A and B are shown apart, each in its own frame.
Chain A
Amino acid sequence: MAGTYAADPEWADVSPIELNDGSESGAMPLATIAYPSDYLEATSYLRAVMAANEMSERALKLTKDVISMNPAHYTVWIYRAKILFALDKDLLEELEWLNGVSLKYLKNYQIWHHRQVLISSKKHFPTMPTKEPDFLMEMFTQDSKNYHVWTYRHWLVRHFKLWDSPREIHDVEALIQSDVYNNSAWNHRYMLRFGPRDDQPDAGMINAGDSSVSPEEKGRLTVVDEDLVDAELKFAQKQILRAPENRSSWWYARGVLRAASRGLEEWEEFAGRFVDGEQTKSSHAVEWLADVYAEGEKAKAVKMFTMLKEKYDPIRKNFWDYRIRQMGVVA
């Protein structure tokens, strides 16, 4: 193999380790790929430096090369991170490079995990790098629902305690403003408002992991800021008016009420205004009423479920029938 590395004096002292796909010992490889020769060469040098556990500038460069061809390689990133710390490299420079890679490979998870590993270093980043929110917003202009980026942003909030940071709230509002259907943004807002704020590892819905707490109590706040809850409900109503068929905003409201241990009946009047006889301005309002009525006024609940299955949500016909049957069981 007369490739770039073989011809480079910097690599002259390294004996590359060729790919052993098992065929020499009689195995029949599965999922064989027609590898380009530059990938085969670069990875054979990568195996050699990894075997030597080499922490060097040239190994760092090599990882970059391999990453450009296979960003999903799960150890090359860990190896790279170790070298960066071992050589005490400038991590801001690394972040700059990562920004470009992230924009190029939008769907890659390893990139974001690597970023998290770097920024976790309290020594290098006692506070959040100032450009971080700007870069995340740039990512969101490419894909405002990118799951990896939101996972990272969630981690960032907890790591640097940004729940009440004006920038955090501002960005989430801007994203909901520009696309009210962006469920990722709604979810992030919920985490900012109702997520746990202590130093414990992320504890999920309040009380969720504590087996001594009864299931009904899970997800409920121990201390409720009623003003905050009211403000969030008002916010949800405003967004529902922008797009009455938007499941995200209706479910956000359900989540808010649940966190505050307040019932759905609080919105009976609001939801009722969307519905007039067999007509409705929102299928989610019908669903809301059905859930309110299901607690006592069974006949009215059945009427709502029937409207959904016959007119406004026939795709879920079987589900609405299931809900109707469930009431029968309870009655």
Chain B
Amino acid sequence: MAAPNFNSERHVKYYLRCLKTFLPSAYTSSDSNRMLLAYLTLGGLDVLGVLHSKTTPEERQGYIDWLYHCQVPSGGFRGFPGTDFGDERRTSENEAWDPANIPATFFALVNLLMLGDDLSRVKRKECLEWLPKLQRADGSFGETIGAGGAIEGNRDLRYCCCASGIRYMLRGPYGQGVEEVKDIDVSRLISFIEQCQNYDGGMGESPFRESHSGHTYCAVGSLHFLRRGTDKSRSSPLLCPGSKSFESLVHWLASRQTNKLLGEGDQDELDDDDIEEEEAAAEEEDMIKGEEETPESVVGTQSHRQKERPVDEGHQEVKSTLNSTEDEIRDLSYLTPESSEGTACAGFNGRCNKLADTCYSFWNGAALTMLDRYSVIDDVRNRQYLLGKTQHLVGGFGKGVGDSPDLLHSYFGLVSLAFQGEEGLTRVEPALVATDRTVAHLESLPWWSSTADKVEISEI
């Protein structure tokens, strides 16, 4: 197969269109995730290296002002302006309906950094005071604070990761200027994350839930933020090469690479017309839910597909129960070795026995990058998959083969290529999922420079 090209110019055009024109009304069902959509748009332009050259200083200032417009008076950010009924009407009774939101706050901070803002208008102290209020006794985090101080939202690694990221950005390595603010319980959080490691080595949304690449990313991302933050008192075996937890996690992540691709050659086999419609709807939702919802973004019809195109092609089920196990194994046929043509493209799935989808090249790759084990996967086959199969002619990436581009898959397709050093893309830090330039900007903020021992940071 010829090496496909990375078409930087078209991707830039795609992103500028998303930035500067209205998203179609189908995005209404994603209204609550506008902060995330903004992150995917700005992030795409930043990775392509044009965020600051293709926007004017006035535009960037206007965007920054909008981001601050989404800041809640009591600290933290809302996911969209739609819950804002006005500061003058805000009371202790109704503020639960316009709360700061954990993922939105994480994305808002990264957005501000990407745009070059110095976070001086961020209610830093209030935001850090809010964080521990969202932490449950088991160490996990919720999404928002509801009526009467209730912690709302699932017990879920996504919120843990965003909370760790907020703490990392706003507390910095020394907690300078916020020494008196109560910190989250880091040790409990690490315990919760460790409990989410499943019997197959991957991580689920919460303890004993099915291993999932999105949640695995969130688990590793949380630990990554925590080890770089202020409290280094407890490290997790999940980050220690050689430990069972670490090696089984790497094994699980490596097992996600597959040449069974979503959207390839299976469309015609569907016998149910409704399925494609559902799929389109699911994709639309998926696109907008992004990190908040993407871990679950696997299209709902894959099981149908797999039934029709079983992984063990050529092998018929052994029905008889009378035979001994020995006899039954003897009756099985030998596998044909994999051909090089059949395995030239290999993307990643997000769960065992599912099909490859663009965003999982990112979730798995980012987790492996943070574990310093990216080399266990096949970057050439991943590149062939992304550029040859899901990169779209008009720019951007689709979820599966032949799909239209959307913001989420476009960003994660680009970032996956950036991890592999694709020419024309800026290097990306895997936990903030922001360029080195953006990270350097964060580290230039006042609370990052300290008289404290700096050797410590460079070692991390």
* A interface residues with partner B (beta carbon < 8 Å): 17, 19-22, 25-36, 39, 43, 47-48, 50-53, 69-75, 78-79, 82, 105-109, 113, 142-148, 150-151, 154, 178-179, 181-184, 187-188, 190-191, 194-195, 201-205, 208-211, 215-216, 218-219, 237, 241-248, 251-252, 254-255, 258-259, 270, 273-274, 276, 279-283, 310-319, 322
| B354→A145 contact, CB < 8 A | yes
For A215, the closest partner residue in chain B by CB is B237
Pick from A17, A280, A283: contact of B85, CB below 8 A. A17
In the assembled complex, the Cα of A311 lies from the Cα of B337 at a distance in Å of 5
Pick from B315, B353, B381: contact of A247, CB below 8 A. B353
Q: B252 → chain A, closest Cβ, in Å?
A: 9
Q: What residues of chain B lie closer than 8 Å to A202, measured between beta carbons?
A: 138, 155, 195, 206-208
Residue B282 lies at the interface, judged by CB distance under 8 Å to chain A: yes
| A145→B94 contact, CB < 8 A | no
Contact with A along B136-164 (1 / 0, CB 8 A): 01110001101100001111000000000
User: A72-B293, A107-B282, A319-B377 given as contacts; is B352 within 8 A of A183 (CB)?
Assistant: yes
User: A107-B285, A315-B381 given as contacts; is B243 within 8 A of A31 (CB)?
Assistant: no
Q: What residues of chain B lie closer than 8 Å to A254, measured between beta carbons?
A: 199-200
| A205→B335 contact, CB < 8 A | no
| B23→A106 contact, CB < 8 A | no
User: A47-B85, A242-B317, A248-B352 given as contacts; is B335 within 8 A of A315 (CB)?
Assistant: no
Q: What residues of chain B lie closer than 8 Å to A34, measured between beta carbons?
A: 22-25, 27
Q: What residues of chain A lie closer than 8 Å to B29, measured between beta carbons?
A: 69-72
| B209→A107 contact, CB < 8 A | no
| B28→A69 contact, CB < 8 A | yes
In the assembled complex, the Cα of A108 lies from the Cα of B199 at a distance in Å of 27
Residue B176 lies at the interface, judged by CB distance under 8 Å to chain A: no
Q: Which of B44-59 contact A (CB under 8 A)?
A: 59
Given A245-B335, A255-B198, A316-B376: 19 more A-B contacts, CB < 8 Å: A25-B65, A28-B63, A30-B19, A30-B38, A30-B42, A32-B22, A36-B28, A69-B29, A72-B288, A74-B144, A142-B278, A154-B209, A205-B198, A241-B328, A248-B353, A258-B199, A273-B330, A313-B338, A316-B254
Q: What residues of chain A lie closer than 8 Å to B317, measured between beta carbons?
A: 242-243
User: A36-B25, A74-B101, A246-B312 given as contacts; is B69 within 8 A of A22 (CB)?
Assistant: yes
Find the residue from B27, B254, B329, B373 having the highest chain A CB count within 10 A: B329
Pick from B27, B66, B91, B146: contact of A78, CB below 8 A. B146
Q: What residues of chain B lie closer than 8 Å to A247, measured between beta carbons?
A: 255, 352-353
Q: Which of B324-347 contact A (CB under 8 A)?
A: 325-326, 328-330, 332-335, 337-338, 340, 343, 346
Q: B184 → chain A, closest Cβ, in Å?
A: 16
Pick from B68, B154, B288, B376: contact of A151, CB below 8 A. B154
For A30, the closest partner residue in chain B by CB is B38
Pick from B30, B111, B144, B195: contact of A203, CB below 8 A. B195
| A154→B208 contact, CB < 8 A | yes
For A35, the closest partner residue in chain B by CB is B28
| B32→A74 contact, CB < 8 A | yes
Q: What residues of chain B lie closer than 8 Å to A310, measured between beta carbons?
A: 337
Give the 4 A-B CB pairs with smallest separation, nearest first: A204-B195, A28-B62, A255-B199, A204-B207
Q: What residues of chain A lie closer than 8 Å to B111, measured between beta carbons?
A: 30
The segment from B76-84, B411-419, B451-459 found at the interface with A is B76-84
* B interface residues with partner A (beta carbon < 8 Å): 19, 22-25, 27-35, 37-38, 41-42, 59, 62-63, 65-70, 79, 81-86, 89, 91, 93-94, 96-99, 101, 111, 137-139, 143-144, 146-147, 152-155, 187, 191-192, 194-200, 204-212, 234, 237, 243-245, 250-251, 254-255, 257-259, 278, 281-282, 285-286, 288-289, 293, 295-298, 300-303, 306-307, 310-312, 315, 317-318, 325-326, 328-330, 332-335, 337-338, 340, 343, 346, 351-354, 373, 375-378, 381
Q: What residues of chain A lie closer than 8 Å to B243, measured between beta carbons?
A: 215
Q: What residues of chain B lie closer than 8 Å to A188, measured between beta carbons?
A: 210
Pick from A33, A201, A283: contact of B27, CB below 8 A. A33
Find the residue from B30, B211, B300 having the highest chain A CB count within 10 A: B300
Q: A323 → chain B, closest Cβ, in Å?
A: 8
> Could you list some 15 contacts between A and B, CB below 8 A?
A17-B89, A19-B81, A25-B65, A27-B69, A30-B37, A33-B22, A36-B28, A78-B152, A107-B296, A113-B153, A154-B208, A208-B195, A219-B199, A246-B353, A248-B352
User: A20-B86, A247-B255 given as contacts; is B143 within 8 A of A33 (CB)?
Assistant: no
In the assembled complex, the Cα of A109 lies from the Cα of B289 at a distance in Å of 10
In the assembled complex, the Cα of A209 lies from the Cα of B297 at a distance in Å of 28
Q: B411 → chain A, closest Cβ, in Å?
A: 13
Q: A205 → chain B, closest Cβ, in Å?
A: 7
| B306→A190 contact, CB < 8 A | no
| B197→A48 contact, CB < 8 A | no
| B23→A51 contact, CB < 8 A | no
Q: What residues of chain A lie closer than 8 Å to B84, measured between beta carbons?
A: 20, 47
For B240, the closest partner residue in chain A by CB is A215
For B286, the closest partner residue in chain A by CB is A107
Find the residue from A20, A202, A245, A246 having the highest chain B CB count within 10 A: A202
| B94→A33 contact, CB < 8 A | no
For A26, the closest partner residue in chain B by CB is B65
Q: A196 → chain B, closest Cβ, in Å?
A: 8
| A27→B66 contact, CB < 8 A | yes
| A145→B38 contact, CB < 8 A | no
| B28→A39 contact, CB < 8 A | yes
| B352→A28 contact, CB < 8 A | no
User: A154-B208, A281-B332 given as contacts; is B194 within 8 A of A208 (CB)?
Assistant: yes
Pick from B62, B204, B254, B302: contact of A26, CB below 8 A. B62
Q: A155 → chain B, closest Cβ, in Å?
A: 9
Q: A179 → chain B, closest Cβ, in Å?
A: 6
| A33→B34 contact, CB < 8 A | yes
For B234, the closest partner residue in chain A by CB is A211
In the assembled complex, the Cα of A179 lies from the Cα of B251 at a distance in Å of 24
For B146, the closest partner residue in chain A by CB is A78
For A182, the closest partner residue in chain B by CB is B303
Q: A212 → chain B, closest Cβ, in Å?
A: 11
In the assembled complex, the Cα of A203 lies from the Cα of B197 at a distance in Å of 11
| A318→B375 contact, CB < 8 A | yes
| A28→B37 contact, CB < 8 A | no
| A259→B199 contact, CB < 8 A | yes
Q: What residues of chain A lie closer than 8 Å to B285, measured between beta carbons?
A: 72, 105, 107-108
User: A75-B144, A147-B298, A184-B210 given as contacts; is B378 within 8 A of A315 (CB)?
Assistant: yes
In the assembled complex, the Cα of A289 lies from the Cα of B135 at a distance in Å of 44
Q: What residues of chain B lie closer than 8 Å to A179, measured between beta carbons?
A: 303, 306-307
Q: What residues of chain B lie closer than 8 Å to A35, measured between beta carbons?
A: 25, 28, 31
Q: What residues of chain B lie closer than 8 Å to A204, measured between beta carbons?
A: 194-197, 207-208
Q: What residues of chain B lie closer than 8 Å to A148, measured between beta carbons?
A: 296
| A147→B199 contact, CB < 8 A | no
